[in-house]
Amino acid sequence: MGNCCVTPKTDHEENKKKHKKKQNPFSIDYGANYQNGGHKLSVLKEPTGREIEQSYLLGRELGRGEFGVTYLCTDKESGETFACKSISKKKLRTAVDIEDVRREVEIMKQLPKHPNIVSLKDTYEDDNAVHLVMELCEGGELFDRIVARGHYTERAAAAVTKTIVEVVQMCHKHGVMHRDLKPENFLFANKKETSPLKAIDFGLSVFFRPGMSHEGERFTEIVGSPYYMAPEVLKRNYGPEVDVWSAGVVLYILLCGVPPFWAETEQGVAQAIIRSVIDFKRDPWPKVSDNAKDLVRKMLDPDPKKRLTAQQVLEHPWLQNAKKAPNVSLGETVRARLKQFSVMNKLKKRALRVIAEFLSVEEVAGIKEGFQLMDTSNRGKINIDELRVGLHKLGHQIPDADLQILMDAVSITLNLVLCTL
């Protein structure tokens, strides 16, 4: 999407729009059409039913994203608890948005039951929303669990990496490219020490034809989270190898607490990814085993043809002997970095929640486009006073506490989180 603050359109501009002969189906505002009494939007091909309330009792909110809200829900008959992701149809503005939801459901249905992939139980669709009833994961996020344990070792990092790559292998085997592998998309099923780690989000995943060569089916859409994108994604010519790269980034973070490719702006991060220079000098890398560093190098090979496949990663000596990996603590510095990284991700989520709560889709788009107007010095960042004034000009009165949350997230997550939504 665009940048951030826009001036209102004139009547003349609006009239010009109305007299356009053709309309791009990918730009049709399906949400507005639906709200204005147009056709009833149908998203899912074969939902379980229409009225989720007949079978489930929706409870407290568990999380909130750009398109919807996740609630705790209880099966009225069995009393079993699940997570219900409710996607508002008002948020599905284009054909692309609608297709994304359909594809996510199809992918979750097609993937076989796996101990490390969250399962989809039921799907419902009414006039206002699409409801996905999924396995509930109450064990918390990956980094939070690591930080809480205190003693963190290379062996623990190997166990987590093995799980993540097994998920990648399963997806690729069944023709699914995840495209958004990152620590936040993995949760523990429960609070037990032995709890399995589960992949929870397939919102950016796509089908591909497995078994094809590197010159086979290619994708061009730039999607994912900046830190974890492979070079070929930025070059708009990629295949399933991107998932191994993202898993390699996660492994690097697990071993040292910071991303391998970092900068203060998204452009800087992209340039660092293209350069693909890996730093093995900073603490704790000197005390990390050579086998671990070798696997990182091979997963982060900028040439997808030379990069290891998921199967080859699992066959690497470091993961083959995961239980024999060094059990010496990686140090308090790594643990502290992981805690900071976790805080950064939580701030970003809070920022998204504030945006979703106070602003409509149209208002968010307007703020992004106006960001450049606020950023008079072209620094790629704005201060809280500039943000307050810019929002005020657009007629948005956001409380200072929530404004500060936005500013914290902006400054910590690449200084431009508002422009990455």
What positions carry a catalytic annotation?
180
Containing H/E element for 294?
helix 290-299
Torsion from C-alpha of 409, 413, 415, 421, nearest 10 degrees: -80
Torsion from C-alpha of 323, 325, 326, 329, nearest 10 degrees: -70
Nearest residue to 254 (alpha-carbon basis) of 163, 150, 317, 160 = 160
Residue whose entry in the numeric block shows the structure tokens 């359109």: 9
Amino acid at 352: L
SS3 176: strand
DSSP string spanning 67-112?
A: SEEEEEEEETTT--EEEEEEEEGGG--SHHHHHHHHHHHHHHHHSP
Cβ neighbours of 70 (radius 10 Å): 19
Residue 80 and residue 238: Cα distance in Å, rounded? 41
- Tokens, residue 415: 């200084």
Asked if 242 and 250 touch (Cβ cutoff 8 Å), the reply is no
For the purposes of burial, counting CB atoms within 10 Å of the CB of 9, is it exposed (0-12), middle (13-18) or buried (19 or more)?
exposed
Asked if 415 and 380 touch (Cβ cutoff 8 Å), the reply is yes
Asked if 150 and 97 touch (Cβ cutoff 8 Å), the reply is no
Cα dist. 378→261, 275, 371, 372 in Å? Answer: 23, 25, 10, 7
Residue 91 and residue 32: Cα distance in Å, rounded? 9
Residue 185 and residue 345: Cα distance in Å, rounded? 11
- Tokens, residue 129: 């929303």
User: CA neighbours within 13 Å on the CB side: how many for 14?
Assistant: 4
Residue whose entry in the numeric block shows the structure tokens 């220079």: 277
